[in-house]
A and B are shown apart, each in its own frame.
Chain A
């Protein structure tokens, strides 16, 4: 009976007459085996004395021999110094204060060095908070160990010596001077007084030399507007900690607007501390096209295009100066609401703008003068951005017309960053003399005759003027890894001076900056603040033209808003895998740039995003055309993107001097015409798909208050805790009991009152999502980079992630209400499905999530080998060498913070990011083990740091005071959103926040009793 049933794969099989089927049946494999390749040569086969048995013997013996030989242990060599430097003690970190000023980022930092190697960047906490390190600065230490760096000076791509280079270039400069031909020195914004002096001296020697400053991402319009108003082409500085009402038009001041660094002072005004029962916090309006970090943190965010913003700005000016309203009603009402709040704040109000027109910038300055704003400081100005769009244009024209015969670029890469980079490159080719000072053989350096390899800032001397009277010093923290020379040293050689830049710098500081101050102290501190205040410049009040220009702004059509991403910024550090893998705080996409599109525009243009069944994201492609240039860009639908506007990030699409893995994205600089980040654009869908590596696809909270708690300032001030931060209850004997009560706990309580008990407190109000903590965690804990392909498979290794949630309704409160109103199963299905869609203009919240170090940890109870266990100090330990990789713990973790090592990332050519070459490995922290394949890893609450603090106290025989205990994330967070400490120390800040009304634990109802506290987010929605 059984044999009667016949199975078949295709109907052809049933046809008995088919020869092909018969033929196939006779074979084991469909394709013919390549027997001939092995056995075809019969002659050799017969001559061979090796028969099958011999062959097996050989294989067997050699396998046995190999395994026996492998039994011998390795011999490690230990090579001490011949003469040990005094300040180096093996195993002990040294910290040096220095300053990064690469023309885009600026920060005063401490560099942690071990055995002479810089391994970590820390904030210089003695310096003003504005100079704190952002994610890129945190990651800059890895760029030092970039294997793609230039290793020495070259001429026409062949290595030469520095003596030859200096001699040859000096001859060139002399010859050009004799000819009277113009030479252009095209530099980044140095803001370095000593460098400026050297350049001035060089200009004095070579009268034909012209110095032009070029910023890849320009603030030229703001500079010009300030020059109009105050007579100086500089930028004002801001102190947002003084602000009560902040109105921003397209200014991503929590991102990179005017040099960045405003987050920490802004965060100070965002933490509502109750005084006399009433808490105060600033109010923040954001008018913008792209969804930015600032927009995400705003109390009221209005998505609109740049031209609409200009209308509102004009209306606001009219409103505040009591002029005649000429705008339409909606605009006027908006302006009225904002003006009311600004008037209320008085001197503590501030209007800022990033709109790339001189008139908009000028009007913003005028409004601040009307408000007499204390937030903006026009007295202490900054030269961190000096780029002059007009002059750069003239240089390109001059090069091509032959007026400019020589070009020297310093720290800039115009071939890549100019929209007409090719024209620039052609001009360079025409010039008699071309030279580039560069760390990489980048697009520009590869076009010039001479390339001077420059050191990384961690190998350099230097200084920077943060703002008037505030100076920073750069000092080398390691001997140059390669045969490099600083631009300033070369200038000194050109000038025929026999001093080093270091000596020149010291002399300059002693002569011009320090006054009675000590050089050694300034170098030790890394910064120096002069006591004298600069003169206040006079304000000229002529803005009528500017206001009418604003009104005249074109309102129709699609616009493209180019922006800088948190990860890559202007693209200088595109070869840095930490930054490539840092998820964008807003989109959570790694390793890419893309066109951000509003949902309605996507629908009308036929652009799409699709989530795959394996949880990865695909997107369609769009052809973006600006003027004559067009790019094909993947599309990402962005909630909150203003209609008819599109966003695209700079810094990607770089090719030269990059590992192939890092050559991702498209170059948006190609569309950066006239240095204006707002461009009229046409978009059309093209066929094809793009694979994204996105770390978060669940974008909404769906009313789950257990995860993110939000409330308004009004409720926070007027109602008690149960209204906005209620502790979940369960029923015990029909009595509602709080889940925190030991009554309902299924676990035995462990006494933790003795010794240290660590807690981490995360204030959702102060977190702006800047990502500095994520990179700091990478650096501190040797977290591997896994690459785009693995991220797409949800195998990211970040120990600390910043989840970003959108509201599905207008607000999160609306979401909660929707969930509460669900009635019945059918309704719940449809409602929850609809809640998965973010709103057109959602509220946004950031939530940093790391291991919660639960006191009742679900992971610990399921580990079959006890590899994860609890310490008395509150930390959930992970013994990697004990882990066998069952991944039960990750399954049982309600927070999804455990990360599995699918591969041996540090010794695998497939992951050639930085852990696979000797240079990149120099950044590894020797106090933390590099995990192997097949083990689980996770946040350890930086136990290596707490242990070090404890040991230091023991060695000195003293108690530990609050603030000494730090984790990598808490010390990287200049905003004060992450605090760490010992709750058994009653004076500690975490012991205080533990009692706060805003404090809650993540998924408290699960009863895990975490050691990470979250502080409820409060929004200032008051409009009266």
Chain B
């Protein structure tokens, strides 16, 4: 039986680059084992249970050719259980060591394939030449300095201008006194009513201003009050830095793979940790893209995976569950009040709405936040505009025919189906 396993995309990408360098550097030979082929075979057949430098379900495979005879490896890979049953000492030893877990037989692999895989496991990549980090930091540092400099120059110019202006008036005054010109003329203005007094005396203007102020403050007060309890953009720090960007974005995992109850229940459900372990049993470290500016390094992500292991009680060393669990206390982001009934299944399954319609571009969110306001107006707007999806749903057939006749329309909105009635959501 052939089994296909998920490949870790970033991991492959890096290895691919390295291997490309090698293939260019060393001219390939027909008889020589092909490291690149070996890599793809390894990923396809072995990576689910083996890692190169670390024990997983099975042993680490780097340097495996030094430990075992080649012929022994051929027969072991093609049918390991036969060897165990025949009582081969090495085979039995390894079988015992790994908790008697049976290795899948690979009769479809030829000796050449196995050679390629072994070549890949024996291959040691050359050390990376350049670390580009230092240059980048310097560059950002200088741009910062530039803007500060520009700012201080501007301020200096301004100060100089102010001082000059002051000096000019002073000189002019002195000149005037010297020439005997009356400066008192200016004070004759004081006999005129000052502007503020005129304003105060004009009751209409005062009234208009007061009204304006009242209305504008009411407007802002209303705006302020209306956003109370609306947590759009709420982005709390979670106990485990779980990146939807990596899972739903880079790895393109379907939302409903983890949030499976969204299809059947009112809750979308936060996946239980055993769902995480479906994949993370084999993915113990992060090898994808990094965002160094924000500190999301590979080590950072790998550490988050360790947090998961700790919570679920997974002993990575021995590839066993310890039974010591610590449930993860996620911070809930989408909080509908108790007096609203919302059902995911109705929207996800019956209506067939994309999760993103309400939850936004989750696949781009490094940290998840509340995308929509989740206010009643927002719900109602959608119910007014959206047509009911009737395809192949016998439930709607009769009611739709009758209603569309009644309203004289081809397609019915949810509002026309009664989706605006209070009691549909409030009970």
Contact = CB atoms under 8 A, between A and B. Distances in A.
A951 B265 contact: no
B427 A943 contact: yes
B423 A76 contact: no
Interface stretch (B77-85, B293-301, B338-346): B338-346
A880 interface: yes
A77 B239 CA distance: 11
Contacts of B406: 751, 754
B236 interface: yes
Contacts of B337: 881
B272 A84 contact: yes
Interface stretch (B24-32, B379-387, B393-401): B393-401
A461 B190 CA distance: 101
A959 B396 CA distance: 8
Interface stretch (B139-147, B169-177, B322-330): B322-330
Given A82-B272, A755-B403, A75 B331 contact: yes
B156 interface: no
B422 interface: yes
Interface residues of A, number: 48
A80 B272 contact: yes
Interface in B261-279: 261, 264-267, 269-275
Name the 8 nearest CB pairs between A and B, nearest first: A877-B423, A91-B265, A84-B272, A81-B272, A91-B267, A78-B332, A76-B332, A91-B266
B350 A872 contact: no
Interface stretch (A189-197, A344-352, A681-689, A924-932): A924-932
B332 to A, nearest CB: 4
B426 A77 contact: no
B422 A877 contact: yes
B233 interface: no
Nearest to A869: B422
Given A951-B343, A951-B350, 8 more contacts: A73-B229, A83-B273, A869-B423, A871-B424, A940-B423, A954-B346, A954-B395, A959-B397
Contacts of B346: 951, 954
A736 to B, nearest CB: 34
Interface in A72-114: 73, 75-84, 89-92
Contacts of B229: 73
Contacts of A958: 394-395
A450 to B, nearest CB: 34
Contacts of B264: 89, 92, 955
Nearest to A756: B399
Interface of A: 73, 75-84, 89-92, 751, 753-755, 867, 869, 871-873, 875, 877-882, 927-930, 940, 943-944, 947, 950-951, 953-955, 957-960
Contact of A80 (B231, B328, B394, B402): B328
A7 to B, nearest CB: 47
Contacts of B399: 754-755
B312 interface: yes
B345 A955 contact: yes
B311 interface: yes
Contacts of B423: 869, 871, 875, 877-879, 940, 943
B269 A80 contact: yes
Interface of B: 229, 231, 236, 261, 264-267, 269-275, 311-313, 325-332, 335, 337-339, 341, 343, 345-346, 349-350, 392-399, 402-403, 406, 418, 421-424, 426-427
Given A80-B271, A84-B272, A881 B421 contact: no
A41 to B, nearest CB: 46
30 contacts: A73-B229, A76-B331, A76-B335, A78-B329, A78-B332, A82-B272, A82-B311, A82-B327, A83-B274, A84-B272, A84-B275, A90-B261, A92-B264, A753-B402, A869-B423, A871-B421, A872-B418, A872-B421, A877-B426, A878-B426, A882-B422, A882-B426, A927-B427, A944-B341, A947-B424, A951-B346, A951-B350, A954-B396, A958-B395, A959-B395
B322 to A, nearest CB: 12
B60 to A, nearest CB: 28
Taking chain A's interface residues, is the majority helix, strand, or loop, or is none over half, making it mixed? loop
Contacts of A83: 272-274, 325
Contacts of A957: 392-395
Contacts of A869: 421-423
Nearest to B263: A955
Given A877-B426, A955-B345, A79 B394 contact: no
Contacts of A73: 229, 231
B426 A92 contact: no
Contacts of A944: 341, 427
B329 A84 contact: no
Contacts of B271: 80
Given A79-B330, A951-B343, A959-B395, A90 B427 contact: no
B270 to A, nearest CB: 4
Contacts of B327: 79-82
Contact of B236 (A75, A753, A754, A880): A75
Contacts of B326: 82
B274 A929 contact: no
Given A82-B312, A90-B267, A951-B350, A77 B330 contact: yes
Nearest to B231: A73
A950 B421 CA distance: 15
Contact of A82 (B236, B325, B341, B424): B325
Contacts of A82: 272-274, 311-313, 325-327
B354 to A, nearest CB: 18
A82, A879, A880: most-surrounded residue (chain B CB, <10 A): A82
A76, A77, A91: most-surrounded residue (chain B CB, <10 A): A91
Contacts of A877: 421-423, 426-427
Contacts of A929: 338-339, 426-427
Contacts of B332: 75-78
Contacts of A79: 327-330
A248 B283 CA distance: 76
Contacts of B325: 82-83
A79 B240 CA distance: 13
Contact of B273 (A80, A91, A755, A878): A80
Contacts of A930: 338
A80, A84, A878, A930: most-surrounded residue (chain B CB, <10 A): A80
Contact of A78 (B265, B270, B395, B402): B270
Given A77-B332, A90-B261, A879 B274 contact: no
Contacts of B349: 955
Contacts of A80: 269-273, 327-328, 330
A959 B394 contact: yes
A927 B341 CA distance: 7
B337 to A, nearest CB: 7
Contact of A871 (B274, B397, B418): B418
A879 B403 CA distance: 26
A83 B403 CA distance: 46
A77 B422 contact: no
A986 to B, nearest CB: 12
Contact of A89 (B265, B339, B394, B398): B265
B398 to A, nearest CB: 7
B317 to A, nearest CB: 20
Contacts of B418: 755, 871-873
A91 B231 CA distance: 24
A959 B398 contact: yes
